[in-house]
Amino acid sequence: MKKALFLFIILPILLFADEYKKVTLQLNWLNQFQFAGYYVAKEKGFYKDVGLDVDIKEYTFNTDLVNSIKTKKADFAIGRSSLLIEKAKGEDVVALGAIFQESPLMLLVRKDSHIVSVRDLKDKKIMITPDAAFSASLLAMLSANGLNKNDFTIQRHSFKLDDLISRNTDAMASYLSNEPINLDEKEIKYKIFKPKDYGFDFYSDILFTSNSFIINNPKITKDFYEASIKGWKYAFEHKAETAEIIYKKYNSQNKSYIHLIKEGEILEKLAYANNTDIGDISNKKLQSIFNVFKLFGLVKNDIDIDSFIYDENPHKTMNLEISPAKQKLFFIILFFIIIVFLIVLFILKKNKQLKEQLQTVIDATDDFILYKDNKFRYLGCNKSFEKFVGKKKPEIIGKNDFELFSKEYAKLFRKRDMEAINLNSIQINHECVIYENKKIILQSKVIPFKYKKTKKEGILAICRDITELHEAHEKLKKEAYHDELTNIFNRKAFNERIEEKFDLYYRYKNEFCIAMYDIDDFKYINDTFGHDIGDRVLIDMTKYIKQHIRKTDFIFRVGGEEFVILFPKTLLEEALVVIEKIRVDVSNMNLVENKKVTISIGITQVRENDTPASIYERIDKLMYVSKHEGKNRTSKD
């Protein structure tokens, strides 16, 4: 009997223990927002949803990331673009996805150092890691600006920001998501030099494993990758909650809550850089990175880039936030434009008369059309571009952007041109410029092309004003979450925010209060004084209430004259003081001539076992209690 009872108790436990497959993820640095997506996937149960029990290992200074995969101490790890070097050495590494499309690595200088360009680093001290693979993008940036290793002094990196502050070094290799935040907190002004601005665009934080692991565990690999990406998207959509998770459970560096949020804001931009999605890897971009490693002698043999990329990676190179129908139309138009202008360029070399006729055709378009040689000097353009520059074609031909535009615009245009040449692919960018004394958004398509008998590679650019399309998109985005009349959040926004508050409440017991108010006799106001007066009452009252609640509180219009106020991290008695003052102040406002306008309110605090539906139903009933008991009063529960 005892044995049977033992098996009855123990057997389900053993079965449950085997339910989740244990896997290990090795990080490449200490815990911080840099790895937020993995923490979130673990804490929110995304890994468990696909049957995985994930152990996240923090980096130690003797950790060899590739070897940890090779020796099976870890199933997955986080690496850098230098994994391509390991691949070239014959190591079995496969990149599942690149979390940061743009590397946070850059050079940091004090603003009062009078170093305003990369060239100014000549004869200066630069604190940089001796790892050539890690610092290749920085060295490439210096080299592209005419500096070789003999032109500056390389100091071994101390990883102490005080060395820059106290001027023990002139420039320091740093991360966008770390040192600049610390300087901001110390109110020390600084300047940064990013390799990407000079055409050297590296990936960072590449999630990788081995091909042998993928072959033996295809489902685990796919499930882990997808759950991790889901975690990253959630982390960036809920940065405050994510920062709180890291602050409480993964804060080995003792970073402040605010510092973690700032890290998240910076890293989000890097994750979605170049209009791509989190995790996407481009084989063309990897080839460009590999070419930089070859330039510095870090690799000799070529590799099959495609075999380095996980088969399930989307391989996306562009993500346009427009409808599928418009995307299809866009690509048809883009294809047509490319064909037309390749034909134009071919015919221009053959026949002067046809050249003049075709020039008339391209002059007829409002798009800016231009083409440059391999040194980015202008070979030709159309009338619209002449108007944009403010010069005639003879004054443009043979010049470069730095001779025609402000330094800001010149750097912007040079950056996009270099990307097209380095990646040898069409680059699509969105650029904000001033044209005819107003700010417009240009969508530029930069196309590498061969010209003349030398077959040197220049660029063809077609720029279109998409300001109206962009504004329409932003307007639709705003309308989705805002009430058009009062310009506050709407019911949809309330539904999402209340879900967040409940999630924080059940995880961390973050108390909150919620109040609903309704304008008394609003139908009478509309019927007697007209809808224009009714609308004015809604606008003026909302404006007043919004000014008299905290910035951390939220106000929503959930119905015609019904509104909800959400008080985060607030107890009932505290919220009641605020809401009662609002009720009294509203009754004393002169919103309608010869008519006193009042509101009836219901207010409550979140309770154990509450749901968004139950708390909403409770404040709705409390508000109607106030109505039935004479109006212009507050009912609490």
CATH number of the domain where residue 126 is located: 3.40.190.10
* 274 and 243 belong to one structural domain: yes
Averaged confidence pLDDT in the chain: 86
pLDDT tens-digit map of 303-346: 999 899 998 876 533 333 445 555 666 677 777 777 877 776 66
> What integer pLDDT is reported at residue 320 of this predicted model?
37
DSSP at 114: T
pTM (2 decimals)? 0.50
In this structure, are 370 and 430 located in the same domain? yes
Per-residue pLDDT band at 481 (split at 50, 70, 90): confident
Kindly state the average pLDDT of the residues 574-587: 95
- Within 377-530, where are the H helices? 383-389, 393-396, 401-404, 407-423, 467-481, 491-508, 522-529
Q: Are residues 138 and 165 in the same domain?
A: yes
Residues 333 and 435 in one domain: yes
Structure confidence at residue 477 (pLDDT): 66
**Average pLDDT of span 231-247:** 93
**pLDDT tens column, 90-136:** 999 999 999 999 988 899 999 999 999 999 999 999 998 766 567 77
Last residue of some domain: 149, 177, 198? 198
- Helical H segments across 89-135, by residue range: none
In this predicted structure, the answer to whether residue 84 has a pLDDT above a threshold of 60 is yes
Lowest mean pLDDT across 163-177, 207-221, 291-305, 429-443 = 429-443
16 in a domain, yes or no? Answer: no
If asked whether residues 450 and 398 sit together in one domain, one would say yes
pLDDT 10s digits, 164-188? 999 999 999 988 888 999 898 889 9
Average pLDDT over residues 40-44: 96
Residue 520 vs residue 11, higher pLDDT: 520
Question: Does the pLDDT value for residue 2 go beyond 60?
Answer: no
- Report yes or no on 160 lying in a domain: yes
- Would you state the structure tokens that stand for residue 610, as one six-digit string? 């509450």
Q: How far apart are CA 432 and CA 415, in angstroms?
A: 14
Query: Looking at per-residue confidence, does 436 or 212 come out higher?
Result: 212
Q: Report CA-CA distances (Å) from 569 to 128, 239, 490, 582, 614.
A: 44, 17, 22, 19, 19
Torsion of the alpha carbons at 146, 151, 154 and 159, rounded to the nearest 10: -50
Write the pLDDT tens digit of every residue in 338-397. Answer: 787 777 666 555 555 556 666 776 777 888 888 898 889 998 898 989 988 889 999 999
* Same domain? 181 vs 74: no
Answer whether residue 239 is part of any domain: yes
Task: Answer yes or no: do 416 and 444 share one domain.
Answer: yes
Closest by CA to 210, choosing from 92, 387, 353, is 92
313, part of any domain? no
Q: Report if residue 316 sits inside a domain.
A: no
Q: Is the pLDDT of residue 8 over 60?
A: no
Verify that 216 and 80 share a domain, yes or no: yes
pLDDT of 146 reads 84
Give the amino acid at 432.
C
Count up the domains in the chain and report the number. Answer: 4
Does residue 408 share a domain with residue 362? yes
Assigned token pair, 58 = 């923090």
Quote the domain boundaries for residue 132: 105-198
Spatial contact of 25 and 205, defined as CB atoms under 8 Å apart: no
Q: Which of 327-331, 404-408, 489-493, 598-602 has the lowest mean pLDDT?
A: 327-331
Domain final position from 275, 308, 341: 308
17 occurs within a structural domain: no
Which residue, of 472, 493, 514, is where some domain finishes?
Answer: 472
CATH of the domain at 517: 3.30.70.270
Q: Is residue 223 part of a domain?
A: yes
Write down the pLDDT at residue 16. Answer: 42
CB-based contact 533:592 (threshold 8 Å): yes
pLDDT band at 294 (very low <50, low <70, confident <90, very high): confident
User: Average pLDDT, stretch 428-442?
Assistant: 80
Tell me whether residue 626 is in a domain: yes
Amino acid present at 219: K
Domain shared by 522 and 593, yes or no: yes
Burial of 363 (0-12, 13-18, 19+ CB in 10 A): middle
Same domain, 150 and 217: no
Closest to 519 in 3D by CA, of 635, 623, 629: 623
Opening angle at CA 181, ends 177 and 185, nearest 5: 170
Domain match, 97 and 115 both: no
Joined together, the tokens standing for residue 207 give 């999630």
Q: Give rounded-to-5 percent helix, strand, coil for the chain.
A: 50, 20, 30
Nearest to 541 by CA among 508, 585, 604: 585
